[in-house]
Every structure is written in structure tokens, then in C-alpha cells.
């Protein structure tokens, strides 16, 4: 995967989380839970992409393998 694609996804995932936190009073309760779960999943995947890119580029030597 291209680095710019990862960076765009990471920025979009964190931006969605920030927007949901800042406007949580204006979102209907039944929609809020689904968006929160989606945002959590996207942020977790963004963290995975960050760690995976460090491992694949050789910045962190995997000692457990």
C-alpha cells in the first residue's frame, strides 16, 4: 500500500472521531452508537496501519519473531 494512502486514511479516521466527539449532542442517539463503533474501528485500524508501517520499513526490529 502506498504511504500517502495510509496517511490520508489515518487523517480521515481521526478527523471522524474528533467530529463525533465535538458534535455528540447534535447527533440522534440511535445513530450515535453506530457512528461511535465505526469510528472506534477505523481508529484502531489506523493505529494498526501505523505500527505495521513501522515494522515493514524496519524502524522497529521484531524481537518476538
Query: How many other C-beta atoms can be found within 10 angstroms of the C-beta atom of residue 65?
Result: 5
Is this prediction's pTM over 0.75? yes
Q: Is the pLDDT of residue 61 over 90?
A: no
Q: Is 37 exposed, middle or buried (0-12, 13-18, 19+ CB in 10 A)?
A: exposed
| Spatial separation of the C-alpha atoms in residues 1 and 7, rounded to whole Å | 11
| Spatial separation of the C-alpha atoms in residues 25 and 9, rounded to whole Å | 26
**pLDDT tens readout for residues 6-36:** 899 999 999 999 999 999 999 998 999 999 9
**pLDDT tens readout for residues 29-60:** 899 999 999 999 999 999 999 988 888 876 66
The alpha-carbon radius of gyration of the chain (Å, integer) is 15
Pick the more confident residue, 63 or 52.
52
Amino acid at each position: 500500500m502506498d504511504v500517502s494512502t495510509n496517511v490520508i486514511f489515518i487523517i480521515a479516521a481521526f478527523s471522524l472521531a474528533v467530529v463525533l466527539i465535538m458534535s455528540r449532542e447534535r447527533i440522534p442517539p440511535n445513530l450515535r452508537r453506530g457512528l461511535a463503533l465505526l469510528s472506534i474501528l477505523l481508529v484502531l485500524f489506523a493505529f494498526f496501519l501505523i505500527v505495521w508501517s513501522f515494522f515493514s520499513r524496519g524502524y522497529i526490529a521484531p524481537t518476538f519473531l
